[in-house]
Amino acid sequence: MIVDKLKVALRKSRARGRFVGPINALNRAHLKMKEAKDRRLRDVAMASLDGSRPDDVEGLVDFAMNGAGGFFQPMQSRVEITELVRLVRARQPRSVLEIGTARGGTLFLLTESSAPGAHIVSLDLPGGRNGGGYPEWKAEIYRKFPRGDRRLSLVRGDSHLESSRDAVAALAGQDGFDLIMIDADHSYDGVKRDFELYSPLLAPGGMIVMHDILPNRFDAEITVAPFWAEVQRRYPHTRELVEDRDQGVFGIGLVFPDGEQAAATR
């Protein structure tokens, strides 16, 4: 409890421009400790993917949340991500773009929930906070996610650059992506840039997924909520997957530019 309160206080201080250097140094040390733990679980993670996997939604979410000692654990509400996986499985996207790979848990679930033969593309920054910069050795593990004839492309680059957008667009195919998940830079300007750059790559009848749409009372640097409010005003067809309005974190927003039922007609 004390540690959590300290983290909140440090994030608020950094957001106000105070003690930025020391706080960043502490954050780097924390990330190094987390990577050391992940390295110890590397073989366990590889073995878990080589073994049998559950086919039901609850089982897949449990694997992502708790499998291999939490190696893949996504930064998600279990209730919210379960509802999203059910929806993705029902829509059966044939092409998926994820912006922000992080620990790989959400990528695993998107891969498992997509249509047979689907192509999944995950774009991530070589370094950064809030889901950026997984170490290169993890790519070998992530490439084991697809089963059957599904395909996975891992792209490294700054999502805010047009060159990264162009690299992703080259993998989208003629029709674009059936599903685009934006879960990288969690600042207002960052998520707005990602939305504006990548939403034109959405296929007709497709769905855009945004994470951390609730006002965040634990991290002042996560400011997706104001942009989500703008998206809701701009698009008539949106939906929210929220476990508890008062949770102060997470929340998934869905955008259907062509209407939620449009995918059924494709």
pLDDT in tens, 29-67: 656 676 778 889 999 999 999 999 999 999 999 999 999
Whether residue 186 lies inside any domain: the answer is yes
Range of the domain at 139: 41-265
Residue 5: pLDDT band (50, 70, 90) is: very low
Whether residue 4 lies inside any domain: the answer is no
Whether residue 1 lies inside any domain: the answer is no
Q: What is the pLDDT of residue 205?
A: 97
Burial class (CB in 10 A: 0-12, 13-18, 19+), 132: middle
**C-alpha–C-alpha distance, residues 114 and 98, integer Å:** 12
User: Could you read off the pLDDT of 140-149 as tens digits, one per residue?
Assistant: 999 999 999 9
3-state helix vs strand vs coil in the chain, percent to 5:
45, 15, 40
Whether residue 10 lies inside any domain: the answer is no
Total-model pTM: 0.87
Q: What is the pLDDT of residue 91?
A: 98
Whether residue 93 lies inside any domain: the answer is yes
User: CA–CA distance from 237 to each of 36, 181, 260 (Å)?
Assistant: 43, 16, 7
The answer to whether 207 and 178 are in contact (CB under 8 A) is yes
User: Could you read off the pLDDT of 193-219 as tens digits, one per residue?
Assistant: 999 999 999 999 999 999 999 999 999
Total domains present in the chain: 1
Residue 126: pLDDT band (50, 70, 90) is: confident
User: Could you read off the pLDDT of 159-187 as tens digits, one per residue?
Assistant: 999 999 999 999 997 899 999 999 999 99
Whether residue 2 lies inside any domain: the answer is no
Task: Quote the mean pLDDT of the chain.
Answer: 89
Whether residue 194 lies inside any domain: the answer is yes
Residue 125: pLDDT band (50, 70, 90) is: confident
Q: What is the pLDDT of residue 37?
A: 80
CATH code assigned at 74:
3.40.50.150
Whether residue 16 lies inside any domain: the answer is no
